[in-house]
């Protein structure tokens, strides 16, 4: 326990971080984690690579220290992330502590919200607005992925990071940065990736499986969604739509929509790319933007949120009405 501060000082020296407040945050969080046992680590609903990779790395790290820990999530683990759980059988214990990773708001716990809201001991996150209620919050919005924060915490706790933990953190970082190409990437992101590579992570293999590999369902869905593409705001805003009918036609799962949401934003001249996905009770919106548009601000107008360059919100209105409101909100931000 006494070595946490020394560990973090060494780590910060290695990473070139000189920030006393931040050092205190990392030390405090690591010390708190070290006091815990029987820990449930919460991932967000519709889990992505960051929430799962971070949770798994933390879980393995805590277990390596002789603690009991499990990863829990409201929704099933997508097939491409199942390898993270190899050899990580569920342990049986009465939970004493709960840690949330990459969860920006209580409703993102999905159906677990009822059970866990107000019961979280430590919230670890990197979203701009984190509304989780917890006595200890370690939120660093400059981190490209929560995976970076888990790297700091595992080292702070003196965990010997093994290959499985390294793969989990690499998964977290490479998926949340689109293979190190988004504007959230900092020198620290690469520095940590270097350390993970040294632990024998098959980076190329993981990048292919996590980011490039596609399926017939994904491709079918992509081509159907692309046929709905339309432009607004003098072509600065592009929208694609995914309907339930398309999902059924191609027998697509929620994760199969991943490849679609980046397409509108990738068009030359488009500053704001929007994906509208039909849900049971309306439309789920995902916005990807460049520096001209704050996606979190646009989504915030409709009760949503996220990051400056990637955010989401929901509408219960009809398709046309939802689209009109969205376009008007984007127009307003573009005019500023």
What residues make contact with Mn ion under the rule CB under 5 A?
50, 102, 176
In the complex, least distance from residue 140 CB atom to Mn ion, rounded to whole angstroms: 11
In the complex, least distance from residue 309 CB atom to Mn ion, rounded to whole angstroms: 12
**Around 323, how many Cα atoms within 13 Å sit in the side-chain half-sphere?**
19
178 vs 220, beta carbon nearer Mn ion: 178
In the complex, least distance from residue 100 CB atom to Mn ion, rounded to whole angstroms: 12
102 vs 121, beta carbon nearer Mn ion: 102
In the complex, least distance from residue 50 CB atom to Mn ion, rounded to whole angstroms: 3
Residue 51 burial (C-beta neighbours within 10 Å; 0-12, 13-18, 19+): buried
Whether 62 and 33 have beta carbons less than 8 Å apart is answered as yes
Query: How far apart, in whole angstroms, are the C-alpha atoms of residue 116 and residue 44?
Result: 12
In the complex, least distance from residue 48 CB atom to Mn ion, rounded to whole angstroms: 7
Query: How far apart, in whole angstroms, are the C-alpha atoms of residue 257 and residue 305?
Result: 19
DSSP output for 176-234: HTTTTTSTT--HHHHHHHHHHHHTT--HHHHHIIIII---HHHHHHHHHHHTT-EEETT
How far from chain centre, in Å, is Cα 10?
28
25 vs 50, beta carbon nearer Mn ion: 50
176 vs 256, beta carbon nearer Mn ion: 176
3-state secondary structure of 61: helix
67 vs 284, beta carbon nearer Mn ion: 284
């Amino acid at each position: 326990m006494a070595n946490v501060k020394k560990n973090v000082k060494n780590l910060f020296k290695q990473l070139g971080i000189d920030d006393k407040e931040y050092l205190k945050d990392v030390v405090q969080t690591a010390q708190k984690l070290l006091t815990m046992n029987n820990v449930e680590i919460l991932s967000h609903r519709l889990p992505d690579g960051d929430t799962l990779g971070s949770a798994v790395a933390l879980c393995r790290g805590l277990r390596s220290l002789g603690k009991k820990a499990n990863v829990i999530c409201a929704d099933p683990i997508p097939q491409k992330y199942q390898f993270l759980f190899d050899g990580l059988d569920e342990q049986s214990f009465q939970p004493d502590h709960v840690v949330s990773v990459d969860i920006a708001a209580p409703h993102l716990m999905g159906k677990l919200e009822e059970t866990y809201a107000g019961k979280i001991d430590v919230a670890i996150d990197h979203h701009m607005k984190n509304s989780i209620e917890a006595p200890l919050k370690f939120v660093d919005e400059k981190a490209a992925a929560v995976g970076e924060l888990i790297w700091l915490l595992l080292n702070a706790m003196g965990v010997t990071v093994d290959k499985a933990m390294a793969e989990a953190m690499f998964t977290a970082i490479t998926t949340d940065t689109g293979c190190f190409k988004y504007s959230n990437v900092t020198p620290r992101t690469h520095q940590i990736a270097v350390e993970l590579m040294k632990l024998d992570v098959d980076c190329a293999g993981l990048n292919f499986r996590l980011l490039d590999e596609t399926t017939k369902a994904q491709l079918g869905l992509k081509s159907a969604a692309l046929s709905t593409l339309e432009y607004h705001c003098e072509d600065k805003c592009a929208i694609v739509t995914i309907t339930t009918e398309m999902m059924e036609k191609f027998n697509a799962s929620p994760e199969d929509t991943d490849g679609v949401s980046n397409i509108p934003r990738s068009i030359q001249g488009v500053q704001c790319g929007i994906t509208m996905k039909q849900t049971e009770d309306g439309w789920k919106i995902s916005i990807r933007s460049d520096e001209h548009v704050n996606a979190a601000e646009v989504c915030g107008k409709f009760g949503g949120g996220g990051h400056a360059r990637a955010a989401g919100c929901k509408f219960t209105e009809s398709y046309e009405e939802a689209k009109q409101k969205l376009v008007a909100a984007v127009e307003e931000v573009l005019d500023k």
